[in-house]
């Protein structure tokens, strides 16, 4: 049996993969880089591993043409990364980021998501979600209010993503608030 060497998916390798898969100037690339940079800051401030940073850079890799399959970008991204030899910790974070289970249920993919990718550490998942929910589509730092406003502007009422985000919004807001408090305490 022929085995390939797993791809290097440390933070630098994650950034390199993004630039291979997304067009320069694309919003998805800008957002992913912005989330990764925010995670670098969070990881330093809270003493977190590079795994968080790699997951942040790669969290939306499922939108890349090379990864698209089911339409659930979290599942598609995790499967794609698994095919590159990524660790189960990394694929689990990508698979479950930002209330993925809510959208997975809307798409009828929740069983597949949970079966293939067990839920990761809640601490790292919350930190990744914080980074995603405080970074705009163009990679800029935003408040959680601004992020929700832009998501609801981008997707019409009744859209699957809108419904999923409305359902997940209270938990996502609690997660962001909790991480903001931790970051404030780390600066004291």
DSSP code per residue over 121-145 = -HHHHHHHHHHHHTB-TTS-B--HH
Q: From CA 164, how far away is CA 161, in angstroms rounded?
A: 5
Share of the chain above pLDDT 90, in %: 95
Residue 187 has pLDDT above 90, yes or no: no
* Mean pLDDT for the stretch of residues 138-162: 96
Instruction: HSE, CB side, 13 Å, CA atoms: give it for residue 151.
Output: 24
Share of the chain above pLDDT 70, in %: 97
Tens-digit pLDDT profile for residues 31-76: 999 999 999 999 999 999 999 999 999 999 999 999 999 999 999 9
What phi, psi does 47 have (nearest 5°)?
65, 45
CB 35 within 8 A of CB 135: yes
Q: Residue 6: which pLDDT band, with cuts at 50, 70 and 90?
A: confident
Could you tell me the maximum CA-CA distance found in the chain, to the nearest angstrom? Answer: 55
What is the per-residue pLDDT for 1? 40
Tens-digit pLDDT profile for residues 101-116: 999 999 999 999 999 9
Residue 152 has pLDDT above 90, yes or no: yes
Residue 4 has pLDDT above 60, yes or no: no
């Amino acid at each position: 049996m022929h085995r390939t060497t797993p791809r290097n998916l440390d933070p630098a390798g994650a950034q390199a993969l993004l630039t291979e898969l997304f067009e320069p100037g694309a919003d998805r690339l800008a957002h992913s880089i912005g989330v990764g940079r925010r995670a670098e800051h969070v990881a330093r401030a809270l003493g977190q591993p590079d795994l968080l940073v790699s997951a942040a850079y790669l969290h939306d890799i499922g939108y890349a043409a090379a990864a698209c399959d089911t339409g659930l970008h979290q599942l598609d991204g995790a499967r794609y990364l698994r095919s590159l030899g990524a660790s189960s910790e990394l694929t689990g974070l990508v698979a479950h980021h930002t209330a993925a289970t809510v959208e997975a249920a809307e798409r009828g993919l929740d069983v597949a998501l949970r079966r293939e990718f067990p839920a990761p550490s809640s601490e790292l998942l919350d930190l990744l979600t914080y980074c995603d929910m405080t970074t705009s589509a163009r990679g800029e730092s935003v408040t959680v209010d601004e992020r929700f406003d832009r998501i609801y502007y981008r997707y019409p009422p009744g859209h699957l993503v809108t419904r999923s985000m409305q359902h997940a919004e209270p938990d996502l807001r609690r997660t962001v608030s909790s991480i903001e408090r931790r970051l404030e305490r780390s600066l004291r």
